[in-house]
Structure 1
Amino acid sequence: MASIVKLPSGSWRAQVMRGGVRKGMTFKKHADAKRWAAEMESKLESIRAVGTAPTPKGSTVADFIDKYIEETDPVKPHGKNKKATLKRLKSEFKGVLMSEFSIIHLRDFVDKRLKQKTQDGTTVSGVTISVDLSYISTVLHWAREVRHYDVDASIANQVRSGLSRRGVNTRSNTREREATQDELSRIFEAYAKKPRQKIPMPDLIAFALASAMRQEEICKLLIEDIDEVDKTVVVRNRKHPKAKIGNDQIVPLLPAAWKIAKEHIGDRKTGRIFPYYEKSVSSSFTRICKECKIDDLHFHDLRHGAIGNLFAVGLRIEQVALISGHKDWAMLRRYTHIKARDVQKAFNDLIGSQVEKAAGTV
Structure 2
Amino acid sequence: MATIVKTPSGTWKALIRKIGWPTTSKTFRTKRDADDWSRRTEDEMVRGVFISRSPSERMTFGAALKRYISEVSTTKKLKTQSSEAGSAKHLDKFFGKYSLAAVSSELVASYRDQRLADGKANNTVRIELALLSHLFTIAIQEWGLGITYNPVVNIRKPSPGEGRDRRLTVTEQEQLLNTVKQHSNPMLGWIVMIAIETGMRQSEILGIRHSHVDLKRRVVRLSDTKNDSSRTVPLTRVATEVFKTALENPLRPSGIDLIFFGEPGKDGKRSPYQFKKIWGDIKKSLGFVDLHFHDLRHEAVSRLVEAGLSDQEVASISGHKSMQMLRRYTHLRAEDLVKKLDRLQDE
Give the TM-score of the pair, scaled to structure 2. 0.72
* 1:224 maps to 2:211: yes
| Length, aligned pairs only | 290
Deviation at 1:265, TM superposition (A): 0.9
Superposed CA offset, 1:131-183 (max 9, x none): 33332222122212222332242422223x2x6xxxxx522231111221111
Superposed CA offset, 1:240-263 (max 9, x none): 2xxx3xx32222222211111112
Deviation at 1:229, TM superposition (A): 4.2
Change beyond 3 A, Cα 1:157–1:257: same
Residue in structure 2 matched with residue 254 of structure 1 by the alignment = 236
Residue in structure 1 matched with residue 101 of structure 2 by the alignment = 99
* 1:170 maps to 2:159: yes
Residue in structure 2 matched with residue 141 of structure 1 by the alignment = 137
Pick which of 91-100 and 330-339 moved more: 330-339
Contact kept in structure 2, 1:55 and 1:98, CA below 8 Å:
no
Residue in structure 2 matched with residue 180 of structure 1 by the alignment = 169
Q: Which 5+ residue runs of structure 1 have no aligned equivalent?
A: 1-17, 22-45, 117-122, 164-168, 353-362
Q: Which 5+ residue runs of structure 2 have no aligned equivalent?
A: 1-18, 23-44, 263-270
Q: Structure 1: which amino acid aligns with 2:138? A: W
Q: Structure 2: which amino acid aligns with 1:96? A: Y
Contact kept in structure 2, 1:61 and 1:97, CA below 8 Å:
yes
Residues 172-211 of structure 1 mapped to structure 2, 5 A cutoff: 172-191=161-180, 194=183, 197-211=184-198
Deviation at 1:308, TM superposition (A): 1.5
Residues of 1 paired with 2:109 and 2:319: CA distance?
Answer: 38
Contact kept in structure 2, 1:59 and 1:97, CA below 8 Å:
yes
* 1:264 maps to 2:222: no
Residue in structure 2 matched with residue 127 of structure 1 by the alignment = 123
Q: Structure 2: which amino acid aligns with 1:72? A: V
Residues 36-115 of structure 1 mapped to structure 2, 5 A cutoff: 50=49, 52-56=51-55, 58-77=58-77, 78-115=80-117
Residues of 2 paired with 1:254 and 1:302: CA distance?
Answer: 15
Superposed CA offset, 1:235-293 (max 9, x none): 122112xxx3xx32222222211111112112889612222476733332221221122
Contact kept in structure 1, 2:258 and 2:272, CA below 8 Å:
no
User: What CA RMSD, in Å, does the superposition of the two structures yield over aligned residues?
Assistant: 3.3
Deviation at 1:60, TM superposition (A): 0.6
Residues of 2 paired with 1:289 and 1:126: CA distance?
Answer: 25
Change beyond 3 A, Cα 1:178–1:278: farther
Residues 9-24 of structure 1 mapped to structure 2, 5 A cutoff: none
Superposed CA offset, 1:99-123 (max 9, x none): 333233224323432432xxxxxx1
Contact kept in structure 1, 2:190 and 2:246, CA below 8 Å:
no
% identity of equivalent residues:
23
Residues of 2 paired with 1:81 and 1:62: CA distance?
Answer: 18
Q: What secondary structure sits across from 2:64 in the alignment?
A: helix
Residue in structure 2 matched with residue 32 of structure 1 by the alignment = none
Q: What secondary structure sits across from 2:96 in the alignment?
A: coil
Residues of 2 paired with 1:76 and 1:192: CA distance?
Answer: 34
Residue in structure 2 matched with residue 237 of structure 1 by the alignment = 224
Change beyond 3 A, Cα 1:323–1:190: same
Change beyond 3 A, Cα 1:69–1:52: farther
Contact kept in structure 2, 1:222 and 1:272, CA below 8 Å:
yes
Residue in structure 1 matched with residue 332 of structure 2 by the alignment = 337
Residue in structure 1 matched with residue 37 of structure 2 by the alignment = none
Q: Structure 1: which amino acid aligns with 2:69? A: I
Superposed CA offset, 1:61-81 (max 9, x none): 111222223332344454422
Residue in structure 2 matched with residue 214 of structure 1 by the alignment = 201
Change beyond 3 A, Cα 1:270–1:262: farther
Q: What secondary structure sits across from 2:221 in the alignment?
A: strand
Q: Structure 1: which amino acid aligns with 2:188? A: M
Residues of 1 paired with 2:94 and 2:208: CA distance?
Answer: 39
Q: What secondary structure sits across from 1:146 in the alignment?
A: helix
Contact kept in structure 2, 1:312 and 1:336, CA below 8 Å:
no
Deviation at 1:96, TM superposition (A): 0.6
Residues of 2 paired with 1:62 and 1:207: CA distance?
Answer: 43
Q: What secondary structure sits across from 1:155 in the alignment?
A: coil
Q: Structure 1: which amino acid aligns with 2:332? A: H
* 1:328 maps to 2:322: yes
Superposed CA offset, 1:191-214 (max 9, x none): 4555xx124333222221111112
Superposed CA offset, 1:318-350 (max 9, x none): 11111111111232235251756467457557x
Q: What secondary structure sits across from 1:280 in the alignment?
A: coil
Contact kept in structure 1, 2:207 and 2:224, CA below 8 Å:
no
Residues of 1 paired with 2:116 and 2:178: CA distance?
Answer: 44
Q: 1:151 aligns with which of 147, 150, 156?
A: 147
